[in-house]
Amino acid sequence: MIQTSHRPRKRFGQHFLHDGGVIAKIVDTIAPQSGERLVEIGPGLGALTIPLLQRHGRLEVVELDRDLIPLLVERCLEVGALVVHQGDALRFDFTALASGERIRLVGNLPYNISTPLLFHLLDHSAVIDDMHFMLQKEVVDRMAASAGDDAYGRLSVMLAARCAVQPLFEIGPGAFTPPPKVDSAIVRLVPHRQPPFALGDPERFARIVNQAFSMRRKTLRNALRGLVDAEGIEAAGLDPGARPETVSPEAFGRLAATSGATPDSR
């Protein structure tokens, strides 16, 4: 027997979108075109799935909650071609899904896993044309922040190296069931086909950014001890006494490209 209702599960971070005006605005923003591979992460009860299917005719979805899938399939039977991939988006292989094609990703991402999920998706950016996600507004603020902004941090820098980030519009808690305790926002991410600045070794870049912002109130000299010495920081055109939140993504790239860095022993 097909379910007719579903109780949102806190452990999955489920908040189901129900505001028709907001849904229409999101679909218009995504503007799906014929022939595109469109993939929705976390379709839930189909609030976006159904209008996207109506507009596009075919949609692939990645859904973790097995109990939701029969209800979703039932709702979409007369709407369009729905392909369901049951699995955890945090571990899902989007490159394999693309099979040599390019895909567009959309979704109302679970707020409790949004940051690690974004980093996972960046690992598959070579097959992604763009991403339109609903996220906690605070996270979107961090994603789009510039050096010197209060919200600027590791997420800002890592995303800047891999994609263009464009906040689009905000959504209040009343558009969801149950209402979250935070405001939400829609953001567009477009992976760069070519890096916007030199990174040196990407793994070294990630280590430097991670270590810098794990001690963001310290100076670069102290925060990066063991990775880049004071001379290496100066060689990148930076003041060893500067704090990480004042350093641009491009400057972090120069730090990562610094060769022969040794622990500062002073």
Q: Which amino acid is at 147?
A: A
Per-residue pLDDT, 45: 86
Q: What is the pLDDT of residues 7-57, one digit of tens each?
A: 544 444 456 788 899 999 999 999 999 899 999 999 988 999 999 999 999
Distance CA 230, CA 258 (A): 11
Per-residue pLDDT, 110: 82
Determine phi and psi for 23, rounding to 5 degrees.
-60, -45
The strand pair at 16-17 and 37-41 is best described as unpaired
Cβ atoms < 10 Å from Cβ of 18: 13
The strand pair at 163-171 and 184-191 is best described as antiparallel
Burial of 101 (0-12, 13-18, 19+ CB in 10 A): exposed
Burial of 91 (0-12, 13-18, 19+ CB in 10 A): exposed
Distance CA 145, CA 125 (A): 21
Distance CA 103, CA 38 (A): 6
User: How would CATH label the architecture of 202-256?
Assistant: Orthogonal Bundle (1.10)
Across the chain, mean pLDDT equals 90
Instruction: Name the residue ranges covered by the structural domains of the chain.
Output: 10-191, 202-256
Q: Which amino acid is at 179?
A: P
Residue with more model confidence, 187 or 68 = 187
Q: Which amino acid is at 239?
A: D
Per-residue pLDDT, 18: 86
Per-residue pLDDT, 4: 40
Cβ atoms < 10 Å from Cβ of 33: 10
Q: What is the pLDDT of residues 72-106, one digit of tens each?
A: 999 999 999 999 999 999 999 999 999 999 999 99
Distance CA 12, CA 26 (A): 22
Written as six digits, the tokens of 7 are 């109780």
Confidence band, pLDDT 50/70/90 cuts, at residue 184: very high
Entry pTM: 0.88
Asked if CATH classification 3.40.50.720 holds for the domain at 10-191, the reply, yes or no, is no
Confidence band, pLDDT 50/70/90 cuts, at residue 181: confident
Confidence band, pLDDT 50/70/90 cuts, at residue 260: very low
Is there a contact between 51 and 31 (Cβ–Cβ < 8 Å)? no
Per-residue pLDDT, 232: 93
Per-residue pLDDT, 15: 63
